[in-house]
Amino acid sequence: MIPEEIEQYCGLHSSPEFPFLARLNRETHLTQVYPRMISGPMQGTLLRFLCNMIKPQKVLEIGTFTGYSAINLALGCGGTVHTIEVNPELETMIRKFIMEAGIQNKIILHIGEALKIIPRLQETWDLVYIDADKPNYLKYYNMVFPMLRQGGWIVADNALWDGKVLSKETADKETLGIIEYNEFVQNDERVENLLLPFRDGLMIARKL
């Protein structure tokens, strides 16, 4: 993992958050039990930059939380972001900040279980971002892969899981889910992949 002082240095030498994202970040930390689940400024900016570079028209996010990453994806992409959140109690907060960002025409929020919602979405995805329940990562991957265009991208967050992926023998079900996912993607000849040691790890895969 990156030393805290290096991460702070990087933050000081990166563009600051947009004001509405800073408010969302603060409200998340004030109101949520696990605020570290938010993508945060560095990762949010990376997702936005990624969308600026590959210019996806159809983006799927699995795991909205309070909406920080969805907003960044929408700000960077040229089309529409479908984002799925299982917790209905977060809907009001998510919609509030989507409105503040002024991109309500670019984000379609779905509330419910992703494994039930994804098959109903008749789209061909350019980019899929997975940041949800870890034991189901591989199920999400296999479900969306046929819907991903050739040359499309799948980005999975928490691919290092606080370094717990190095201790398979003592791993809990969340860690095992990440390990299973990483190993499957590494051996999937249908993709080219990079495990990026950024924040808590990003597994980036491009469909060949």
**Average of pLDDT values for 17-24?**
96
By the 8 A CB rule, do 60 and 129 touch? yes
CA distance 179 to 38: 22
Q: Which helix (H) or strand (E) holds 24?
A: helix 19-31
Task: List the strands of the sheet with 202-207, edge to edge.
Answer: 107-111, 80-85, 58-62, 125-130, 148-157, 202-207, 191-196
| Topology classification of domain 4-207 | Rossmann fold (3.40.50)
Positive or negative: CA dihedral 34, 45, 43, 152:
positive
The residue assigned the tokens 């040359």 is 151
* pLDDT for res 168: 85
* pLDDT tens digits along 66-94: 999 999 999 999 999 999 999 999 999 99
Q: Please name every residue paired with 58 in a beta bridge, in sequence order, or none if there are none.
A: 80
CA distance 19 to 35: 18
Amino acid 178 reads: I
By the 8 A CB rule, do 125 and 57 touch? no
Pairing of strands 148-157, 202-207: antiparallel
CA distance 76 to 85: 20
Query: Angle at Cα 129 formed by Cα 123 and Cα 134, nearest 5°?
Result: 120
Instruction: Provide the percentage of residues in the chain whose pLDDT is more than 90.
Output: 89
Token pair listed for 11: 């933050």
* pLDDT for res 46: 97
Positive or negative: CA dihedral 140, 68, 56, 156:
negative
* pLDDT for res 1: 65
- What residue spans define the domains of the chain? 4-207
SS3 helix, strand, coil % of the chain, rounded to 5?
50, 20, 25
* pLDDT tens digits along 29-72: 999 998 988 999 999 999 999 999 999 999 999 999 999 999 99
